[in-house]
């Protein structure tokens, strides 16, 4: 079967000094008992019973057609990108498929609009930088978010007033049962706050293979959110372009968030809870300093970090697990923590927030 990704002209970017992929790349190979420590940003020292990298659609098709994938059963495989939104609580007994396809291509332009397709295995920040360097605006507020392009639609990543859905056009995904390539439109992805159809009924059923974004050569920069304006002013930039905004976001993130290379973490561990306006109003009567933002309809988004901080968790540490000292939403591994210990801590936090505020915190991180 001819994969649609190739039909649409998305080929891996290759240096002229490289051999053709078919000559130098090994075929799809499954290896046993592989440590996943280097492949997850919590640095959990777990093993996968089986592990394979998929670099081409042929690899995926071989995995399916040879029966190697089916062998591990419906829930016996895990697709892995950059591992920055996963908490491993145990060794994984099935097959980890690490998506490693590469390539970025701008393939259609209309006035100021540019359509850019990136392979799932591309590093997200590398891709954002590529767009900024080419003058394609829209994603700059999402600079420095860890992970890969293929994962960005799964939880509709967002930061500094922008979500991926704002620039999303479509994606190509491969059905892991049939090998068929399916194109998903924006509506079909059912994007919501840190959510999409791929976190719900299609979880684990498709490999997202490439994502197409609708970007703009003449983008209006978005600087109203968070500390961007202040950072631009500190940089003495009066008329910011997309590269200035990207740099401001990078500076802010460097100053605020722990670097997973130095301190294991997966960013926000919990989602900001979205509650009814009426409930939020009552809560505000009891807790006048409650931090909240308007959400869609008659809903209000509460700042999960504030709720956790009020319960006294900020800076908490027990052995190797803890809550970051300046970001209560970030749980950390101080060295040799076990995923199960981190999960126990997460449950304790959920319980105490519920007891104090009557609010259920939902985990943003995928628990394995
Ligand atoms: C320091 C830090 C800061 C962060 N800041 C933010 C932020 O500001 N905003 C935000 O939204 N997130 C943030 N995150 C979370 C994380 O970066 C994003 O969720 C990111 O999109 C995860 O990408 P990944 O490739 O690492 O996914 P992984 O952790 O590898 O996988 C996440 C989920 O997607 C599935 N998956 C991965 N690739 C594919 C694929 N190709 N096809 C199908 N399924 C797939 C996995 O099975 C898993 O369920 C942060 C994380 C860290 C560590």
3-state secondary structure 71-129: HHCCCCEEEECCCCCEECCCCEEEEEEEECCCCEEEEEEECCEEEEEEECCCEHHHHHH
Q: 56-60, 146-150, 171-175: which has the minimum mean pLDDT?
A: 56-60
136 and 249 assigned to the same domain:
yes
CATH of the domain at 182: 3.30.465.10
Cα 85 to ligand 1 centroid, rounded to whole Å: 4
What is the reported pLDDT for 16? 32
pLDDT, averaged across the chain:
90
Residue 266 CB less than 6 A away from ligand 1:
yes
Find where tokens 């950059």 sit.
82
Q: 67-71, 141-145, 268-272, 363-367: which has the minimum mean pLDDT?
A: 67-71
User: How is residue 94 written in tokens?
Assistant: 């099935």
Listed in order, strand segments (DSSP E) in the chain are 31-35, 47-54, 77-80, 86-87, 92-99, 104-110, 113-119, 158-159, 162-163, 168-175, 181-185, 206-216, 264-268, 274-276, 292-294, 299-302, 317-318, 321-323, 330-333, 366-367
Mutate to test the pocket of ligand 1, among 40, 63, 95, 145 (most ligand atoms within 8 A of CB): 145
Answer whether 141's CB lies under 8 Å from 249's CB: yes
243 and 279 assigned to the same domain:
no
Q: Which domain holds residue 82?
A: 4-99
- Evaluate if residue 342 carries a pLDDT over 60: yes
156 and 176 assigned to the same domain:
yes
Higher pLDDT, 112 or 246: 246
How many separate domains does the chain show? Answer: 3
- Evaluate if residue 1 carries a pLDDT over 60: no
Q: Render pLDDT for 192-244 as a digit per residue (tens, 0 to 9).
A: 999 999 999 999 999 999 999 999 999 899 998 879 999 999 999 999 999 99
Which of 224, 256, 288 is the C-terminal boundary of a domain?
256
Q: Beta strands 317-318 and 292-294: pairing type? A: unpaired
Question: Taking residues 182-198, what's their average pLDDT?
Answer: 97
Using a 10 angstrom Cβ sphere, with 0-12 exposed, 13-18 middle and 19 or more buried, the burial of residue 94 is middle
Question: Taking residues 331-359, what's their average pLDDT?
Answer: 97
What is the reported pLDDT for 229? 93
With cut-offs at 50, 70 and 90, classify the pLDDT of residue 51.
very high
- Evaluate if residue 127 carries a pLDDT over 90: yes
What is the reported pLDDT for 109? 79
133 and 250 assigned to the same domain:
yes
What is the reported pLDDT for 15? 33
55 and 124 assigned to the same domain:
no
Which of the following is catalytic: 194, 196, 210, 231? Answer: 194
- Evaluate if residue 5 carries a pLDDT over 70: no
Residue 153 CB less than 6 A away from ligand 1:
no
Cα 151 to ligand 1 centroid, rounded to whole Å: 5
Share of the chain above pLDDT 70, in %: 92
What is the reported pLDDT for 301? 94
Which of 81, 99, 117 is the C-terminal boundary of a domain?
99
Residue 251 CB less than 6 A away from ligand 1:
no
Q: Render pLDDT for 261-310 as a digit per residue (tens, 0 to 9).
A: 999 999 999 999 999 999 999 999 999 999 998 888 889 999 999 999 99
166 and 244 assigned to the same domain:
yes
Residue 142 CB less than 6 A away from ligand 1:
no
CA distance 262 to 309: 23
Question: Taking residues 28-52, what's their average pLDDT?
Answer: 94
65 and 190 assigned to the same domain:
no
CA distance 97 to 34: 12
115 and 220 assigned to the same domain:
yes
- Evaluate if residue 34 carries a pLDDT over 60: yes
What is the reported pLDDT for 7? 36
Could you say which DSSP state residue 238 is in? S
194 and 215 assigned to the same domain:
yes
Share of the chain above pLDDT 90, in %: 81
Q: Tell me if residue 268 is catalytic.
A: yes
Residue 79 CB less than 6 A away from ligand 1:
yes
Which of the following is catalytic: 143, 151, 268, 292? Answer: 268
What is the reported pLDDT for 25? 52
Cα 2 to ligand 1 centroid, rounded to whole Å: 29
Mutate to test the pocket of ligand 1, among 38, 69, 85 (most ligand atoms within 8 A of CB): 85
Q: Render pLDDT for 148-167 as a digit per residue (tens, 0 to 9).
A: 999 999 999 999 999 999 99
- Evaluate if residue 134 carries a pLDDT over 90: yes
Q: Render pLDDT for 305-323 as a digit per residue (tens, 0 to 9).
A: 999 999 999 999 999 999 9
Q: Which atom of ligand 1 is nearest to the CA of 84?
A: 26
239 and 158 assigned to the same domain:
yes
- Evaluate if residue 365 carries a pLDDT over 90: yes
Pick the closest to residue 56 from 120, 131, 117, 150 (CA basis): 120
Residue 189 CB less than 6 A away from ligand 1:
no
63 and 122 assigned to the same domain:
no
């Amino acid at each position: 079967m001819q994969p649609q990704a190739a039909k649409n002209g998305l080929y891996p970017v290759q240096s002229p000094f490289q051999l053709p992929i078919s000559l130098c790349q090994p075929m799809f190979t499954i290896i046993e008992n592989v440590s996943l420590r280097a492949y997850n940003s919590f640095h959990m020292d777990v093993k996968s019973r089986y592990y394979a990298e998929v670099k081409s659609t042929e690899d995926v098709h071989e995995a399916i057609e040879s029966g190697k994938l089916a062998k591990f059963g419906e829930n016996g495989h895990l697709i892995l990108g950059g591992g920055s939104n996963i908490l491993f609580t145990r060794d994984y007994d099935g097959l980890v498929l690490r998506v490693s396809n590469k390539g970025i291509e701008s393939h259609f332009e209309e006035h100021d609009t540019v359509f850019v397709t990136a392979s799932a295995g591309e590093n997200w920040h590398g891709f954002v930088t590529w767009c900024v360097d080419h003058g394609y605006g829209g994603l700059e507020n999402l600079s420095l978010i860890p992970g890969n392009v293929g994962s960005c639609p799964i939880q509709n990543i967002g930061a500094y007033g922008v979500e991926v859905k704002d620039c999303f056009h479509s994606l190509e995904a491969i059905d892991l049962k049939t090998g068929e390539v399916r194109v998903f439109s924006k509506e079909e992805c059912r994007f919501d706050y840190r959510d999409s159809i791929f976190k719900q009924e299609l979880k684990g059923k498709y490999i997202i293979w490439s994502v197409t974004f609708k970007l703009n050569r003449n983008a209006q920069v978005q600087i109203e959110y968070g500390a961007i304006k202040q950072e631009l002013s500190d940089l003495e930039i009066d008329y910011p372009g997309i590269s200035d905004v990207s740099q401001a976001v990078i500076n802010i993130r460097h100053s605020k968030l722990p670097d997973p290379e130095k301190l294991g973490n997966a960013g926000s561990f919990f989602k900001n809870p979205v509650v009814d306006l009426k409930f939020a109003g009552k809560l505000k009567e009891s807790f006048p300093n409650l931090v909240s933002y308007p959400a869609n309809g008659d809903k209000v988004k509460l700042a999960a970090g504030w709720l956790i901080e009020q319960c006294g968790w900020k800076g908490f540490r027990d052995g190797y697990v803890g809550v970051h000292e300046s970001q209560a939403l970030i749980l950390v591994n101080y060295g040799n923590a076990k995923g199960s210990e981190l999960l126990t801590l997460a449950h304790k936090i959920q319980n105490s927030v519920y007891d104090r505020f009557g609010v259920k915190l939902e985990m943003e991180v995928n628990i394995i």
